Amino acid sequence: MKVVMTQAVCPEGLAMLEGKADIYVADNGDPNNYLDEMKDADALIVRIAKCDGHAIENSPNLKVIGRTGVGYDSVDVKTATAHGIPVVITPGANNRSVAEHAVAMMFALSKNLLEGQMEMCKGNWKIRDAKKAFELEGKTVGIVGLGAIGREVAKICEGCGMKVAAYDPFMSKEQIEGYGAEYYENYEELLKASDVVTIHVPLTEQTKDMIKKEQLQMMKKTALLINCSRGGIVNEADLVEALKEGVIAGAGTDVYCNEPPATDDPLLNCPNLVASPHSAAQTREAVIKMAQMCINGCMAIVEGKKWPYVADKAVYDHPKWKDAEWAEV
């Protein structure tokens, strides 16, 4: 078995392949740049990279694509599915890490930590009198997307004494209320009512630019916006304008339309922004869980068994999977 990796997974993941696979680590985010290596690859593991249809169609031996994460917008799933190639994902592996990161951004912004540190280091001790910090207890957190990560955020925020409200088009009122959250049928109404808005939805045609100028203007002037989901869900140009003009009080983002963003990106120069390099899921614990789960799935598929955690289960309607059995998880 040959496994190509866009970037190396953690040592704990590599150890699972020791003696079982030949590994090629490209250290390159585009498989089209090493198609010679892809010609005999059984598996491609995609980390910080994109895998388009051209790369898939020019990898004749490819049996599986693995994503060390739950998002798969960086992979042409449609083309992979048409060729009977499952795209393995790792749901649940990074839930807590991403949730904690989102809440950490809430705390950093609500306590004005970044400005406080920067001003103090300049000798401005009077920044302590700015009175910009506020408590999260009693505030309403509006969660857009009450999936596994959104529910973990709700749990943490509830523990902080926050009121939890949520919008999720795939969940009923009873389901959302069953998780202890106030139900909102319309996400724009949720934006209006929330002191903190945190986004936990995938990037799709429906969610692209879901929050732009019109929606930002609906939010409270004192509100915070957190995005640890995907770049493109929040319109970045409109967010820059909203932050500079005081339409909202602050924002935290772990994701960008273009990654990595340019150092002169206007968004990064907003003083009321907390930014991180798409690292919410990159805790020691989550990195190990994602790698191990991804490799387990890839190995099962290469062995001809169906793995349940894939981007599109319609892939198993392909003739090559007709008589395949399900792998034990």
What counts of helices (H) and strands (E) characterise the chain?
A: 12, 12
- Peptide bond just before 202 cis, omega within 30 deg: no
What is the 3-class SS of 175-201, one letter each residue?
HHHHCCCEECCCHHHHHHHCCEEEECC
CB contact at 8 A, 71 and 204: no
Q: What phi and psi, each to the nearest 5 degrees, are found at residue 250?
A: -175, 170
Choose, from 47, 101, 230, 236, the residue flagged as catalytic.
230
Strand, coil or helix: 164: strand
Choose, from 177, 259, 285, 303, the residue flagged as catalytic.
259
Question: Is 128 one of the annotated active-site residues of the chain?
Answer: no
Choose, from 67, 101, 151, 278, the residue flagged as catalytic.
278
CA distance 145 to 112: 26
Environment class of 57 (CB within 10 Å of its CB; exposed 0-12, middle 13-18, buried 19+) = middle
Inter-helix orientation angle 148-159/95-110, to 10°? 50
Enter the DSSP assignment of 327. P
**C-beta neighbour count of 275 within 10 angstroms:** 18
H helices of 162-273, where?
173-178, 187-193, 213-216, 236-244
Q: Which CA distances in Å does 23 have to 1, 38, 39?
A: 9, 11, 14
Question: Is 278 one of the annotated active-site residues of the chain?
Answer: yes
Residues annotated as catalytic are: 230, 259, 278
